[in-house]
Amino acid sequence: MKNIIQKLGVAVLMAGIAAPAFAGSITVKGSDTLVILAQKWAEVYMGAHSGVKIQVTGGGTGTGFAALQDQTTDLCDASRKIKAAEISNCIKAFGKRPTEYKVALDGLSVYVSESNPLKELTMDQVGGIFTGKIKNWKDVGGADAPITVYSRENSSGTYEFFKESVLKGSDFAASTQTMPGTAAILQAVAKDKNGIGYGGAAYGAGAKHLAIKKDDSAPAIEPNEENVVKGSYPIWRYLYVYVNPALDKGEIAAYLNWMRSDAGQKLVKEVGYYPLPAKLRE
């Protein structure tokens, strides 16, 4: 019995190790934020290069890094920068730091309900609302009503980014409703006239995107492609792909270059993110 299980285990392990080794086959795993874009890229690239097979799976950025260090995936999609612990794990597993490629830009909007009269907030006010220091809309120039805060799950790269860069590392208010995805946040904010949430700037039918001011004296900036790519809109981040440097050659390197070429970047907009500025492209 145990023997059989051991054999099965070995077979599964072999399959896992062997999978990325097939010639012309690339496996991609990681961030759920990036999975739609990664699939789009894979489809178009496979259409143009008939010998290449690309397999895309999601599961989360952390799952992607775990697979990268176990060498069960070639590319790891990430919606956040790799953490020190994950770099250490990779060095322990294959002796090198994974190579980082920036592949797209993502602007984050702050959403409120269409029926909310508010049009703009400063970064400080956004931080105050999400950390629970500001609890009523009248404190930021809205109606006299309690604020309901919606956030992503703490497993999401978006959550972490928002916490570090908008809340400056402070905790979200304990009463924050966490939703399983950007679509769910939009859904909730659209239905809740006192709600506020955040998510991709390119999403967002049904809710109003607030303009954001860096500080009290700065102009309010709308979250649109021009402002995000230019960098004048304050809440944005990169999306990444990581690769084991030993594998970064041949077909995989060609694919990575193509993602960051004009042809690859053209697809980015279609799935709700923003293309890299010209200086970062291949």
Partner 1 sequence: MQHEPHNTNSPHGWLGIHRGHKARPLEWLAEKFIFLVSLSAIFVVLLIFLFVAREALPVFLGRTDTALVQEAIPPDQIESLSPEKIQSYLALTPKQFAGMDKETLKSLMEVKQQEQDEIPAQFRNDPDARANTTEWHYLLSPHQWHGYDKPEHIWQPVGQIKKFNIIPLFVGSLKITLIGLLFAVPLAVGAAIYVSQLARPRVREIVKPAIEMLSGIPSVVVGFFALLIMATVLQNIFHYQTRLNALVAGIALGFAVIPVVFSIAEDALTSVPRSYTQAALALGASRWQTAWQIVLPAALPGVFAATVLGFGRAIGETMIVLMVCSASVMSWSAFDSARSITTTIAAEMAEAVSGGAHYRILFMLGALLFAATFISNMIGEFVIHRFKNKLEGKR
Structure tokens at 77: 């999609």
* Site stretch for partner 1 (CB under 8 A), options 112-120, 191-199, 204-212, 263-271: 191-199
* Site stretch for partner 1 (CB under 8 A), options 82-90, 100-108, 198-206, 218-226: 82-90
177 binds partner 1 (CB under 8 A): yes
CA distances (Å), origin 72, targets 18, 21, 68, 81, 83? 8, 10, 6, 20, 19
Residue with tokens 């084991």: 244
Residue choice 6, 175, 257, 261 for contact with partner 1 (CB under 8 A):
175
* Site stretch for partner 1 (CB under 8 A), options 34-42, 65-73, 252-260, 268-276: 65-73
* Site stretch for partner 1 (CB under 8 A), options 20-28, 165-173, 216-224, 237-245: 165-173
157 binds partner 1 (CB under 8 A): yes
Give, as one character, the DSSP assignment of residue 54.
E
Structure tokens at 23: 């010639």
x/- mask, partner 1, residues 24-63, rule CB under 8 A, reads --------x--------------------------xxxxx
HSE-up (13 A, CA, CB side) for residue 130: 28
CB within 8 A of 115, min separation 6: which ones? 193
166 bridge partner residues:
none
- For residue 184, the minimal CB distance to partner 1 (Å) is 8
| 139-167 burial code (b ≥16 CB/10 A, e <16) | ebebeeeebbbbbbeeebbbbbbbbebbb
Positions that interact with partner 1 (CB under 8 A): 1, 32, 59-63, 65-66, 69, 83-89, 91-92, 95-97, 146, 148, 153-157, 159-160, 163-164, 168-172, 174-180, 184, 187-188, 191-192, 194
